[in-house]
A and B are shown apart, each in its own frame.
Chain A
Amino acid sequence: DTGVSQNPRHKITKRGQNVTFRCDPISEHNRLYWYRQTLGQGPEFLTYFQNEAQLEKSRLLSDRFSAERPKGSFSTLEIQRTEQGDSAMYLCASSNSGTTKAFFGQGTRLTVV
Chain B
Amino acid sequence: ILNVEQSPQSLHVQEGDSTNFTCSFPSSNFYALHWYRWETAKSPEALFVMTLNGDEKKKGRISATLNTKEGYSYLYIKGSQPEDSATYLCAFCQSGGSNYKLTFGKGTLLTVNP
- Chain B interface: which size bin? 20 to 34
Within 8 A of B (CB), among A28-44: 31, 33, 35, 40-44
How would residues 1 to 21 of chain A score, 1 for a CB under 8 Å from any chain B CB and 0 otherwise?
Answer: 001100000000000000000
Q: How far is the CA of A30 from the CA of B79 in the complex (A)?
A: 39
Partner of A100, one of B41, B44, B49, B107: B49
Q: Are A102 and B46 in contact (CB under 8 A)?
A: yes
Which A residues are CB-close (under 8 A) to B4?
42
B66 within 8 A of partner (CB): no
| Distance of B64 from chain A, by nearest CB (Å) | 14
Other 6 A-B pairs with CB < 8 A, given A100-B32, A106-B43: A33-B101, A42-B89, A43-B102, A100-B34, A103-B46, A106-B42
Can you pick out 13 interface pairs between chain A and chain B where the beta carbons lie within 8 Å of each other? A31-B100, A33-B100, A40-B106, A42-B6, A45-B101, A45-B103, A56-B98, A91-B44, A100-B34, A100-B49, A102-B34, A102-B46, A106-B42
Contact surface of A with B, Cβ cutoff 8 Å: 3-4, 31, 33, 35, 40-45, 48, 56, 91, 95, 99-107
